[in-house]
Chain A
Amino acid sequence: ILNVEQSPQSLHVQEGDSTNFTCSFPSSNFYALHWYRWETAKSPEALFVMTLNGDEKKKGRISATLNTKEGYSYLYIKGSQPEDSATYLCAPGDRGSTLGRLYFGRGTQLTVWP
């Protein structure tokens, strides 16, 4: 079992605020880091898959960075909107186990108030 930590556990922001959260994971044996967005009563949807140290990905107002040497990734949301309200999950893959298997963190629950 890989120890994946996400912080904060929950976050409440006003519409228009920018926000960010952290995912930390063991850096040894790393090969990929996934971010997923999970709305209530729906299923998780993939946002990004990152593999290279220093990698940056962007999708609209959401972006993510990756530091594989120190074992962390940041997810940023610029100008949060109520529709961004969801739980954001990170999931690293580990070469020490079967490739393809991910280890999900417990997520950061974001609520954006209008």
Chain B
Amino acid sequence: GAVVSQHPSRVICKSGTSVKIECRSLDFQATTMFWYRQFPKKSLMLMATSNEGSKATYEQGVEKDKFLINHASLTLSTLTVTSAHPEDSSFYICSARDGDRPSNEQFFGPGTRLTVL
């Protein structure tokens, strides 16, 4: 149980295009989902927190108009990187909190490798 999937696993796009990444909880209802980015050999940095049906809360320094997050259902959250540039190239990872489990436990997806040319 507690499986989180991400799609796509890797994407290459041209500078200026937008890319959408999906995060799904497969066997539980995710009341809260989180989006992280991770640069090579670095730790995970929280970008934003989203609760189903409400606007995402972004961490300081993260542009909400560039990284659009939608959490429209209890099993799906999407991150759209708008007008991507090479500096947006990174490993994006989502996680989800199961509302029926102890509150802090998060389950992570496999990540999406974004490369912007």
**Do chains A and B stick together as partners?**
no
B interface residues, Cβ below 8 angstroms from A: none
A interface residues, Cβ below 8 angstroms from B: none
